Amino acid sequence: MANAHSGKMIVGLDIGTSKVVALVGEVGEDGTLEIVGIGTHPSRGLKKGVVVNIESTVQSIQRAVEEAQLMAGCRIHSAFVGVAGNHIRSLNSHGIVAIRDREVSVADLERVLDAAQAVAIPADQRVLHTLPQDYVIDNQEGVREPLGMSGVRLEAKVHVVTCAVNAAQNIEKCVRRCGLEIDDIILEQLASAYSVLTDDEKELGVCLVDIGGGTTDIAIFTEGAIRHTAVIPIAGDQVTNDIAMALRTPTQYAEEIKIRYACALAKLAGAGETIKVPSVGDRPPRELSRQALAEVVEPRYDELFTLIQAELRRSGYEDLVPAGIVLTGGTAKMEGAVELAEEIFHMPVRLGVPHSVRGLSDVVRNPIYSTGVGLLTYGLLKQSEDMVLTGNSNSNSNSYGDEPKAPVLERFKRWVQGNF
Ligand SMILES: Nc1ncnc2c1ncn2[C@@H]1O[C@H](COP(=O)(O)OP(=O)(O)OP(=O)(O)O)[C@@H](O)[C@H]1O
Ligand SMILES: [Mg+2]
């Protein structure tokens, strides 16, 4: 949250493996969001989505936040923060309660979601999200908006996401050290889903894949609700590494070469095009064909897409995602990535960028900002729910610390609003 503007401010902080992004959004009179500030800084303190160096992470966050503050012309006090990494676990669960006054009330919903998340969770994990899928009232299945319905027995089906206590605490520590409060911590692919998927895709069935620098984050939606989440610890950093090894060139050059010249599908790269590769030590630069570079890159993308496909199969939702695959995150920007993915998945594949954002849209319509923009969208929904529920526009009340009791109701409201 921030001040000095007429409208309400929401801040999203995406602490990625490659970069930290702070986005400031201003909520207009009509309830829409306009992005008024952005700050990004290379990230040095993370490996595969988790904080491994607090000091470097704090510095990156500070720089990104300062830049965003300058641009937005306001001070940032708190933020919605993303979390990722292969410590994330998820499962589908359900809970059952008796409906107290034969009509489903907000209190019944809170109780049923509490019951649904009361699953055995390892001591080193904590609940991050309890996302309602649908409800059963007596024998009526597939109820999406149970509030006010009559019955005696209420069952909730939910997707529970947990994360390592330590990983979350380290993120919290870094953000607090920058003098910021945490409004909420959100699973990164859930945030990305908010900014890149359409309601139609979620309704029909879709698999979102956010391929960043350190991790590939997956989220599967069917019938409007989230059904499965997973993290694969392979992403863009591996591609860069492969190039550095194969071309015997320092990592920073490999990164540059990758972004400027690489291609995920060797047959799309012109054999005649050549590039200059700086060598290690004092040796002179060498020439290389783009085709040869693509032959280094394609197997890694191939491996990654094959792993994603295996995860999709394991989830049991492979035949339930007719809207196909939506790729986002920086690594999805590679030329030929969508084409190669279509060959492997035999499904429609598209590149997802943040949609329906106002302000700085030229900047943020980029797959690397999907999580950041999604954090703002999530924040906007959450704050409007808090207002509805408490009649209070100050939503700073639910910081990450008092989970899990407060968010349950909000998640229900979000579901009612047709989001998840
Ligand atoms: N045009 C491009 N072509 C190919 N790769 C790209 C391109 N632009 C950026 N990348 C790669 O995308 C990755 C960064 O993506 P992104 O910003 O989504 O990651 P992140 O959010 O910081 O990391 P993570 O989500 O894994 O923690 C880097 O590996 C970078 O090399
Ligand atoms: Mg990311």
- Is residue 2, in this structure, part of any structural domain at all? no
Asked if residue 382 has its Cβ within 6 Å of ligand 1, the reply is no
Look up the CATH number of the domain holding residue 380. 3.30.420.40
Task: For ligand 1, atom 28, name the residue with the nearest CA.
Answer: 213
What is the per-residue pLDDT across 30-53, written as a single tens digit (0 to 9) for each? 888 999 999 999 999 999 999 999
Strands 286-289 and 274-277: antiparallel
pLDDT, residue 281, reads: 82
pLDDT, residue 120, reads: 87
Asked if residue 332 lies in contact with residue 213, where contact means CB atoms within 8 angstroms, the answer is no
Question: Could you tell me which residues come within 8 angstroms of residue 286 by beta carbon, excluding any fewer than 6 positions away?
Answer: 276, 277, 279
Same domain, 387 and 406: yes
Same domain, 278 and 409: no
- Is residue 42, in this structure, part of any structural domain at all? yes
- DSSP code per residue over 12-26: EEEE-SSEEEEEEEE
pLDDT, residue 52, reads: 96
In angstroms, the CA 387 to CA 139 distance is 33
Gap from CA of 332 to ligand 2 centroid (Å): 11
Gap from CA of 57 to ligand 2 centroid (Å): 15
Look up the CATH number of the domain holding residue 152. 3.30.1490.110
Same domain, 294 and 244: yes
Instruction: Name the residue range of residue 377's domain.
Output: 8-86+165-193+355-415
Number of domains in the chain: 3
Gap from CA of 264 to ligand 1 centroid (Å): 14
Same domain, 338 and 365: no
Same domain, 42 and 182: yes
Atom of ligand 1 nearest to the CA of 214: 26
In angstroms, the CA 357 to CA 29 distance is 15
Q: Which of 240, 295, 242, 241 is nearest to 269 (CA)?
A: 295
What is the per-residue pLDDT across 51-109, written as a single tens digit (0 to 9) for each? 999 999 999 999 999 999 999 999 999 999 999 998 999 999 999 999 999 999 999 99
Burial of residue 314 (CB within 10 Å: 0-12, 13-18, 19+) is: exposed
Atom of ligand 1 nearest to the CA of 20: 22
Q: Which residue has the higher pLDDT, 412 or 87?
A: 87
In angstroms, the CA 1 to CA 91 distance is 32
Same domain, 70 and 93: no
- Is residue 145, in this structure, part of any structural domain at all? yes
Same domain, 148 and 100: yes
Mean pLDDT of the 186-212 span: 97
Same domain, 252 and 323: yes
pLDDT, residue 401, reads: 35
What is the per-residue pLDDT across 378-398, written as a single tens digit (0 to 9) for each? 999 988 776 554 544 443 433
- Is residue 1, in this structure, part of any structural domain at all? no
Same domain, 146 and 241: no
Same domain, 51 and 21: yes
- Helix ranges (H only) for 316-369 are 337-345, 361-364
Same domain, 371 and 333: no
Residue 418 pLDDT greater than 80, yes or no? no
What is the per-residue pLDDT across 237-258, written as a single tens digit (0 to 9) for each? 999 999 999 999 999 999 999 9
User: Considering every ligand atom, which ligand is closest to the CA of 237?
Assistant: 1
> What ranges make up the beta strands (E) of 200-307?
206-211, 216-222, 225-232, 274-277, 286-289
Atom of ligand 1 nearest to the CA of 370: 18
Same domain, 258 and 333: yes
Q: Is the peptide bond before 299 cis (omega within 30 degrees of 0)?
A: no
- Is residue 101, in this structure, part of any structural domain at all? yes
Mean pLDDT of the 333-345 span: 98
